[in-house]
């Protein structure tokens, strides 16, 4: 393969941006963990907190159903396709997709508002609190969807640092709100969620406006043929997200047979690995995502090699450190806390899956960047089937070893399918 410098960015510059993105993602992760701490410390146990955490999934399902999820990852490829046809076509694409996203987000907000309000009133909450929950959770769909749209534009324009800064600002505001705002959880938590989503969208809109990429009435009349395939890709991404949630459900259901506390230990351990995965992806995959979305094959191969080597290396080192520490604590019996021991045990069990997932991410995100999410979806669906089989035959007989095998093997179909496609493209 050609050297990485042939794609127009020196190695030192790639490395520098990689470290910046990883640092910002680490700060966002720490901020999120602090927010969860304050959520537990200040607002739990409380029935309003539990109810909020349950109904806050309603907007996610509705935005997914309306194909508003995944804009950040799906949009860059089609943005570049429109841009290749000229600035007018690109501007028409941006204007058209902005109008569609705005209308769909308003529809999603109204649906969420109705569902959450009725659910809250049926659960015995006061009329005022029910209406407030519905309003706040429904209204957040609008800035969340527009924020995703503008992050997609910024991603296409290679403004990755600005995206991470916006998300870090939203996470920091959420943590501060959980820690400082007075009032009841039923009032404060939805308010914090709404304001944080609005802040992220506002920051992204400002960054996009500074790039002179902004919808206007003059460009609305410029039709773009790229909008329809974009929503096809979004539909595939929504299916992939749904498959991922089904897999999580199957895995957690299989944990129930191990006794009380095992599902929580599995969930917490998974969250920890996911946080570490996000940092590695920010360091080794996201820096090259905008280049992949341009659809230039002579760039894709060298960038994939750069990304894959680093992601795999970081994953192996991080996994070795975390796994060794967890094993050392358990072996030395240094933790006198049953739930903590169970979580560390699950952390070790999930280590093989983490290493496989880290090395798979460059292949998955390269396909997302190129507007071809169907292949990762095929791998995820096959992985879900293997997870179900493992939950039926391996986990009941092999216990934690069965969990390790099941969760690890579920990653392999994606690896086989995507590696085969990459091999065909870059022999």
Give residue-wise pLDDT tens across range 103-123. Answer: 999 999 999 999 999 999 998
Q: In whole angstroms, what separates CA 172 from the centre of its chain?
A: 18
Rounded distance between C-alpha atoms, residue 336 and residue 334, angstroms: 7
Residue 100 token pair: 């569609």
- CA dist., res. 1 & res. 21, Å (int): 26
The answer to whether residues 129 and 190 touch, using CB atoms and an 8 Å cutoff, is: no
Tell me if 383 sits within 8 A of 341, measured CB to CB: no
Measured in whole angstroms, the distance separating CA 384 from the mean position of its chain's CA atoms is: 18
Residue 224 CB contacts under 8 Å (≥ 6 apart), including other chains:
82, 89, 92, 93, 96, 97
- Residue 337's pLDDT is 76
Question: What percentage of the chain reaches a pLDDT higher than 90?
Answer: 56
The whole-angstrom separation of Cα 66 and Cα 377 is: 18
How far is Cα 192 from Cα 195, in angstroms, rounded to an integer? 5
Name the nearest CA neighbour of 203 among 156, 139, 143: 143
Read off the tokens for 106.
Answer: 């308003």
Looking at residue 298, what is its pLDDT?
A: 67
Q: Both tokens of residue 410?
A: 């579920």
Write down the pLDDT at residue 405.
93
Query: What is the residue-averaged pLDDT of the chain?
Result: 88
**Per-residue pLDDT at 4:** 34
The pairs formed by 245-253 with CB atoms below 8 angstroms and a separation of 24 or more are 246/384, 247/380, 247/383, 247/384, 247/387, 247/410, 250/384, 250/387, 250/388, 250/391, 251/387, 251/391, 251/403, 251/406, 251/407, 253/391
Q: Residue 227 class from Cβ within 10 Å (0-12 exposed, 13-18 middle, 19+ buried)?
A: middle
Q: What is the DSSP letter of 371?
A: T
pLDDT at 12: 55
Q: Are 250 and 391 in contact (CB under 8 A)?
A: yes
Residues in the chain, pLDDT under 70? 1-14, 214-225, 260, 297-298
pLDDT at 116: 94
pTM assigned to the model: 0.85
Give dist(CA 27, CA 30) in Å, integer: 5
- Six-digit token pair at 427? 């022999």
Nearest in space to 314 (alpha carbons), one of 283, 274, 351, 347 = 283
Residue 42: C-alpha distances to residues 125, 170, 177, 283 (Å):
20, 20, 11, 33
Query: From the CB of residue 409, how many other CB atoms can be counted at a distance below 10 Å?
Result: 18
Which pLDDT belongs to residue 216?
A: 61
* Beta-carbon-side half-sphere exposure of residue 139 (alpha carbons within 13 Å): 14
Q: In whole angstroms, give the CA distance from residue 42 to residue 334.
A: 29
Among 79, 84, 146, 136, which residue's Cα sits nearest to residue 113?
136
Nearest of 263, 278, 51, 277 to residue 171 by alpha carbon: 278
Distance of CA 166 to the CA centre of its chain: 15
What is the DSSP-derived secondary structure letter of residue 67?
Answer: T
pLDDT tens across 311-353, in order?
999 999 999 999 999 999 988 888 777 778 888 999 999 999 9
Q: Which of 177, 183, 77, 69 is nearest to 132 (CA)?
A: 183
- pLDDT recorded at residue 152: 94
């Amino acid at each position: 393969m050609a050297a990485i410098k042939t794609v127009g960015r020196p190695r030192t510059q790639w490395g520098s941006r990689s470290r910046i993105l990883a640092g910002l993602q680490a700060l966002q992760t720490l901020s999120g963990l602090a927010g969860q701490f304050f959520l537990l410390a200040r607002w739990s146990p409380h029935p309003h907190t539990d109810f909020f955490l349950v109904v806050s999934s309603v907007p996610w399902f509705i935005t997914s159903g309306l194909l508003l999820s995944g804009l950040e990852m799906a949009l860059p490829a089609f943005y570049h396709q429109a841009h290749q046809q000229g600035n007018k076509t690109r501007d028409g694409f941006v204007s058209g997709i902005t109008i569609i996203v705005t209308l769909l987000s308003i529809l999603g907000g109204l649906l969420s508002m109705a569902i959450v309000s009725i659910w809250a009133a049926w659960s015995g909450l006061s009329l005022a609190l029910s209406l407030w929950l519905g309003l706040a959770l429904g209204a957040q769909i609008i800035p969340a969807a527009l924020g995703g749209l503008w992050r997609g534009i910024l991603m296409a324009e290679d403004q990755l640092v600005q995206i991470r800064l916006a998300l870090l600002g939203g996470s920091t505001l959420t943590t501060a709100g959980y820690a400082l705002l007075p009032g009841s959880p039923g009032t404060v938590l939805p308010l914090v969620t709404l304001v944080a989503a609005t802040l992220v969208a506002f920051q992204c809109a400002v960054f996009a406006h500074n790039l002179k990429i902004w919808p206007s009435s003059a460009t609305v009349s410029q039709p773009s043929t790229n909008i329809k395939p974009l929503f096809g890709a979004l539909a595939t991404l929504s299916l992939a997200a749904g498959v991922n949630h089904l897999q999580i459900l199957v895995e957690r259901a299989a944990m129930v047979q191990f006794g009380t506390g095992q599902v929580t230990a599995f969930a917490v351990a998974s969250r920890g690995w996911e946080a570490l995965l996000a940092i590695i992806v920010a360091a080794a995959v996201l820096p090259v995502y905008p280049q992949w979305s341009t659809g230039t094959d002579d760039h894709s191969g060298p960038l994939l090699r750069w990304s894959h080597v680093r992601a795999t290396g970081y994953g192996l080192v991080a996994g070795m450190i975390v796994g060794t520490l967890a094993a050392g604590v358990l072996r030395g019996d240094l933790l006198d806390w049953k739930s903590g021991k169970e979580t560390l045990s699950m952390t070790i069990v999930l280590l093989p899956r983490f290493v496989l997932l880290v090395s798979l991410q460059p292949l998955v995100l390269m396909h997302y960047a190129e507007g071809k999410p169907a292949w990762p979806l095929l791998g995820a669906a096959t992985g879900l089937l293997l997870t179900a089989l493992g939950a039926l035959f391996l986990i009941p007989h092999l216990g934690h070893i069965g969990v390790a095998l099941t969760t690890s093997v579920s990653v392999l179909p994606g690896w086989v399918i995507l590696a085969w496609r990459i091999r065909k493209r870059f022999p």
